[in-house]
Amino acid sequence: MTVEEYARLPRGERLARLARTPGELAAAIAGRSDDALSRRPDATDWAATEVLCHLRDNEESFLDRLRMMVAMDEPRFPRSNPDRWAEERQYLRNDATEALHAFGRRRGETIALLASLGPGEWDRAGVHLDSRGRRTVDQVVSVMAWHDDNHLDQLRRALTGRP
The pLDDT value recorded for residue 129 is 82
The pLDDT, as a whole number, for residue 45 is 95
pLDDT tens digits for range 150-159: 999 999 999 9
Mean pLDDT of 38-55: 96
Task: State the average pLDDT over residues 113-139.
Answer: 93
Answer whether 140's CB lies under 8 Å from 64's CB: no
Mean pLDDT of the region 139-145: 97
The confidence score (pLDDT) of residue 90 equals: 94
3-state helix, strand, coil in the chain (%, to 5): 65, 5, 25
In CATH, the architecture of 3-159 is: Up-down Bundle (1.20)
Cα gap 74→124, rounded to integer Å: 7
Residue 128: which pLDDT band, with cuts at 50, 70 and 90?
Answer: confident
**pLDDT band at 80; cut points 50, 70, 90:** confident
Q: Are 59 and 140 in contact (CB under 8 A)?
A: no
> Helix or strand or coil: residue 127?
strand
| Mean local confidence (pLDDT), 22-49 | 96
Domain ranges of the chain: 3-159
What is the C-alpha to C-alpha distance for residues 17 and 36, in angstroms, rounded to an integer? Answer: 26
Residue 53 and residue 101 in contact, taking contact as beta carbons nearer than 8 Å: no
